[in-house]
Chain A
Amino acid sequence: MKEKKQNRHVYWNPYFGGFLLGILIIFTFFITGRGLGASGAMKSSVVTIVDDVSHEHAEQSAYYSKFVNNDKSPMNNWIVFETLGVLIGAFVSGALAGRIGWRVQHSPKITRRRRLIFAFGGGILFGIGAQIARGCTSGAALSGMAVLSTGGFITMLAIFGTAYLFAYFFRKNWI
């Protein structure tokens, strides 16, 4: 019964969602000439935070200094606005389907604590990886694939390939 209640996720047909996402990507390229993205906004946030805490450090660091610009805030960026939109859009969708609520989603076999630790660790890895590859699944892989970018295809294969390779070690977390 509890399972049944937890399993009230009625989502779109994946093909329908994929079709709309594809149309959105076409539209995005048609309007802006570039693809979608997500982790860029997080990078902008990190740069902003570091810049606020220690401006000198941000100026000196080889990486931050690329994004720190004295007359323009790193938050004033296409990708940041897009990410704000993502939050709004996802909230609207969640609200319409009644999925909003504070909760931790985890397999019944693991504790909440373990799930959070793994989510955090996975996030760290994803953050590092996304910087090395200059984009995440949406920015590099999905938008890259839409324009047949070699880098996008390689990134996509690398993400899914390693994820499948390592899936065995994390199976307890999910099934």
Chain B
Amino acid sequence: MVNRKLVKFLSLRYKILAAILIVLAGGLVLLPKYEKHEGISPEQLLSNAISPERYITTDELADRIINQDPSLLLIDVRDENAYKKYSLPSAVNIPLKKILEDDSESYLNQDEFDVILFSNDNFHSDQAWLLCNRIDYKNLYVLKGGINKWFNTIINPKKPTENMASNAFELYSLRKAASMHFGVAYPKKVHKQPVIIKKASVAKTSTAIVPKKIIPKKKKKKMPTEGGC
């Protein structure tokens, strides 16, 4: 009895297998579609966002620029007009609106340089940082305080009053030295002057350094291009 049932079942086995295959393939068609979450997980993003390590101070940045740190890549996320008026030496202009475009990716998505994002304050650069971090770009930093703070601390440092601690004086002399490096003439307090010099230095260094920096990170596909056979 059982045997006969088994024989009957076995005679249908190909049809059953075919049905299973069609059901599986049909299941693919009927699967509910959802947008895949791209980039890093929300938890990861949160922990990156609240980490203070994503900021770099103006003093630190000035120090690295003066020491000609080769791993530095400055990205100005303000619009083009502001960039033309004034920017940090050898900065690359990628306006916030264009930050996700393909051209920008070669600058932002790479692992050779520390990318420093800056804007007038750190509002827009923070936004840019968040956008880029979400799609898992590495080595991104935000210049704390942006260009405004850069002006107030490096280009035009405030002279400490006499009753301040001694390290304030040290800091002041460091900043003063830095600002001299960036072309501020002391003791003349000229507001416009750094702009002109900066422009010159931008033009000079950006042409010299920036082309070198366009080294897009290799895509994750590291497989040899040779396929199967």
Query: Are any A and B Cβ atoms less than 8 Å apart in their complex?
Result: yes
A173 located at the interface, meaning its Cβ lies under 8 Å from any Cβ of chain B in the complex: no
Chain A proximity mask over B174-204: 1 for CB below 8 Å, otherwise 0:
0000000000000000000000000000000
For A139, the closest partner residue in chain B by CB is B228
Point out the residue from A33, A39, A43, A144 that lies within 8 Å of B223, measured CB to CB. Answer: A33
Question: Which residues A113-156 have CB closer than 8 A to chain B?
Answer: 130, 134-136, 138-140, 142-144
Chain B proximity mask over A6-28: 1 for CB below 8 Å, otherwise 0:
00000000010000000000000
B229 and A139 contacting across the interface, CB-CB below 8 Å: yes
Assembled-state Cα–Cα distance A139/B226 (Å)? 10
Provided the pairs A33-B223, A34-B223 are in contact, do residues A15 and B17 lie with their beta carbons within 8 angstroms?
yes
Chain A proximity mask over B210-229: 1 for CB below 8 Å, otherwise 0:
00000000000001101111
Classify the secondary structure of A's interface with B.
Answer: helix
A38 located at the interface, meaning its Cβ lies under 8 Å from any Cβ of chain B in the complex: yes
Assembled-state Cα–Cα distance A78/B229 (Å)? 11
Q: How many residues of A contact B (CB 8 A)?
A: 23
Question: For A138, what are the chain B residues with a Cβ–Cβ distance below 8 Å?
Answer: 228-229
Question: Which residues B71-99 have CB closer than 8 A to chain A?
Answer: none
B227 and A39 contacting across the interface, CB-CB below 8 Å: no
The minimal Cβ–Cβ distance linking A140 to chain B, given in whole angstroms, is 6
Question: For A34, what are the chain B residues with a Cβ–Cβ distance below 8 Å?
Answer: 223, 227-228
Assembled-state Cα–Cα distance A24/B17 (Å)? 19
Question: For A142, what are the chain B residues with a Cβ–Cβ distance below 8 Å?
Answer: 228
Assembled-state Cα–Cα distance A35/B228 (Å)? 6
Classify the secondary structure of B's interface with A.
Answer: loop
A40 and B17 contacting across the interface, CB-CB below 8 Å: no
The minimal Cβ–Cβ distance linking A71 to chain B, given in whole angstroms, is 16
Q: How many residues of B contact A (CB 8 A)?
A: 8
For A44, the closest partner residue in chain B by CB is B226
Chain A proximity mask over B14-44: 1 for CB below 8 Å, otherwise 0:
1001000000000000000000000000000
Assembled-state Cα–Cα distance A27/B193 (Å)? 66
A68 located at the interface, meaning its Cβ lies under 8 Å from any Cβ of chain B in the complex: no
For A35, the closest partner residue in chain B by CB is B228
Provided the pairs A33-B223, A34-B223 are in contact, do residues A143 and B17 lie with their beta carbons within 8 angstroms?
no
A79 and B226 contacting across the interface, CB-CB below 8 Å: yes
Question: For B224, what are the chain A residues with a Cβ–Cβ distance below 8 Å?
Answer: 78
Question: For B226, what are the chain A residues with a Cβ–Cβ distance below 8 Å?
Answer: 40, 79
Assembled-state Cα–Cα distance A38/B229 (Å)? 5
User: Counting chain A CB atoms within 10 Å of each CB, which of B17, B226, B229 scores highest?
Assistant: B229
B227 and A134 contacting across the interface, CB-CB below 8 Å: yes
A143 and B223 contacting across the interface, CB-CB below 8 Å: no
Residues of B at under 8 Å CB distance from A?
Answer: 14, 17, 223-224, 226-229
Known A38-B229, A140-B229; further 9 A-B contacts with Cβ < 8 A: A32-B223, A78-B224, A79-B228, A134-B227, A136-B229, A138-B228, A140-B228, A142-B228, A143-B228
Chain A to chain B: the 9 pairs with minimum beta-carbon distance, closest first: A139-B228, A139-B229, A37-B228, A39-B229, A135-B229, A136-B229, A37-B229, A35-B228, A143-B228
